[in-house]
Amino acid sequence: MLIFTDLEAAIGRVRATFGEDVDVAGVPARVVGLGADAAVEMMTDVTEAIRSLELLRTTAAGVVAAASTRDRGHAGAAQTRGHRTPESLVQEITGSTRAEATKAVRVGESLVLGAAAESAGSDEPQTTGGEQDVDALIARQTEDPQTARTWRAPADDALITGTITNAQHDAIVRGLGAPVESSADDAREAWSLAVERLVAEAPNRTIEELAKAARSIRDILDPEGAQRRFDERNTGRSFRLYTDSDGVRRASIAFDDEGGAWAAAILDAGLRPRRGGPRFVDAEEKSRADDLVADPRTNEQLAYDLFIDVLRAGALADAKQVFGTRQAGVRMVIMAESVESPAAVGHLEEDGATLPAWLVARRGCDLGYTEVITDSGGNPLYLGRESRLFSAKQRIALAVRDGGCRWRSCDRPASYCEAPHRRMGRRRREDRRRSRNPALSLPSHGSAPRRVADHPQRWR
């Protein structure tokens, strides 16, 4: 694919949809007159053109970073233009936020290092004058460029071909991090396969989901590092109560993994009718849910009142009175063969966050285990054609597999979801329905298989 050929083709399609040239002030009125279908078509073509231009801009940001290293001093590309860092220069030129500029530089450096690694293994002569700049960039990297190129290559190639965006590339590469030093060859291969998998899943995941999946995969591949990162988050836990300048008492909490999951479970259980939870059959629960939906308080006010009630009631609270039928709780998941392995990791059911195996085992000793049996596709044990609804254990298996609502970009937990069947079949000679392909989703999403993503959890 040729960048300017593709760019011109995309712009040609935009021009064909948009019509005759107009002054920029008249663009909104012209687009409004196109209608929704034409607007979607034009937005798709514009996005394709932007991706081609974004590739050029991102790589240029990487080159600027290479020419602005510390050893260049005041002679660096950014410094000679009055900026202390390349990120500051990129931010000024693009008008983006500092976070976006930092991301552009980070992704650009990855592309520049990849190009340097390819050039090192090629007999073709260099045609640019920036070799010294690239050498300076390589010198301050913790990874050998050839090594980095080996495992990053699928992400770099996908970005260059327009398969993924800058943000998706950054989420994958930053989330996975560099391979562990031990067993370097095997580690690089495992990291590269993980990158390929995440690139393939990128169209069906949000940036946040992609970054979370990358971090979870890294913890699976590097259990020792997972334990270290868990310890760092656990050490960083804190609670601070203070009074601001207006005399309002405020609190700041930094959760550890388990405490944060527990706090989220409390909110999910208490506010589920307001946040798209399941439909109730029980009259008392339905009435309670209707009252909560009609409550004039905001979700933030309700969350505050809920936490104060939980703190006030403490160990004497009647959980059913606070949360209703679906009580708050955190479910941890681990492969059966990993329970006794100190180097293994487990996961939280609802968001896939990793936990050390010893913590899962400790909670299992306190509260017990529920064994989940699935087929190779992650579907729960099939109970036959007679059973229309899923059993309690099947729903646990679905929650373990899906982690929550399967609707793309939806972050609601499994406790909010129903379990509709994505495909329904009928036996020819018997008037009995067979359930296939169960999928957790919110009642508000209805059933639209084309919008249901592949299993977002699939942490195994």
Q: Residue 220 to residues 14, 215, 342, 345: CA-CA distances in angstroms?
A: 45, 9, 13, 6
Identify the pLDDT of residue 427: 44
Structure token pair of residue 26: 């008249």
Identify the pLDDT of residue 23: 87
CA distance 235 to 223: 18
Identify the pLDDT of residue 258: 86
Stated pTM of the model = 0.61
Positions in the chain short of pLDDT 50: 125, 127, 142, 315, 325, 385-386, 424-435, 448-452, 455-456, 458-460
Burial (CB < 10 A; 0-12, 13-18, 19+), residue 33, is exposed
CA distance 277 to 274: 7
Q: Closest Cα to residue 447, out of 426, 420, 410? A: 420
Identify the pLDDT of residue 288: 74
Burial (CB < 10 A; 0-12, 13-18, 19+), residue 294, is exposed
Radius of gyration of the chain (CA): 26
Identify the pLDDT of residue 255: 92
Identify the pLDDT of residue 252: 92
Long-range contacts at 313-317 (CB < 8 A, ≥ 24 apart):
none
Burial (CB < 10 A; 0-12, 13-18, 19+), residue 378, is middle
